[in-house]
Amino acid sequence: MDFATIDLVFVIDMFLLLLIGIGPKIALVPYLEITKGMDGATKRRIDQKMLITATITALILLIFGELLTGLLHFSPGALSIASGIILLILAVPMVLRSPDFEAKSTSLAGKDPMQLATFPLAVPYLLNPVGIVVLITASAESTSFVEIAVVIGVLAAVIVLDILIFRFANRVSNHLDENRMLVIEKVFGFLLAALAVQLILNGLADLGVIHLIGH
């Protein structure tokens, strides 16, 4: 992404990247599984905790991302490869795991819902490796306050969209068919696996290990 030019194309590209990186697609199905059968007040508490944690973490990465890359001495390419590997680890079980809903419920039983809201719902499901790459890259490559302000504005728009989607999910979660949720999860998992591979390829290209046509 070119941070030298702030225009409509840049805003749209940033919105789409952040929608992938801190949007509902990875977190929604696990969120519905975890909150299934809970009362409305508990669901809202989990919802708020998840969104607040992800938002605060995102802002910290955006503000201190450049400092972190300098202190830890990693390149954007290395960050992209690491994020791709982690995203692939998250995506593969989404595609391959068996539809044992009873086992899932048993594995979640007894766990603190607020802890689940922080991990894994807030990070790495809602704020996922793609979002981490985008935010740290934006922090490292932005050269003015205006650029950071634009990214923060786009981030705010994505968070508002998340709030609306999860609020709607709260209202309909008890009426969703588990088999349909499983299909959605597997489709999202496959798409995320492809995105993970692309992140790894982009990272290798950034490091000069390979050359991507059109990169």
Q: What does the pLDDT read at residue 100?
A: 58
- Return the domain boundaries, the chain: 29-206
Residue reference for tokens 């766990």: 111
Q: What does the pLDDT read at residue 98?
A: 67
User: Rounded to whole angstroms, what are the CA distances from 82 to 26, 51, 74, 196?
Assistant: 18, 24, 11, 10
* pLDDT over 80 (residue 93): yes
Mention every residue, 6+ apart, whose C-beta is less than 8 A from residue 64: 139
Find out whether the peptide bond into 124 is cis, omega within 30 degrees of 0.
yes
What is the rounded distance in angstroms from the CA atom of residue 150 to the CA atom of residue 156? Answer: 10
Residue reference for tokens 């309909």: 172
What is the rounded distance in angstroms from the CA atom of residue 5 to the CA atom of residue 18? Answer: 18
Q: Work out the mean pLDDT of the chain and round it to a whole number.
A: 86
The token pair at 167 is 């609020």
Q: Quick: pLDDT tens for 123-169.
A: 999 999 999 999 999 998 888 888 899 999 999 999 999 999 998 88
Confidence (pTM)? 0.85
What is the rounded distance in angstroms from the CA atom of residue 127 to the CA atom of residue 64? Answer: 16
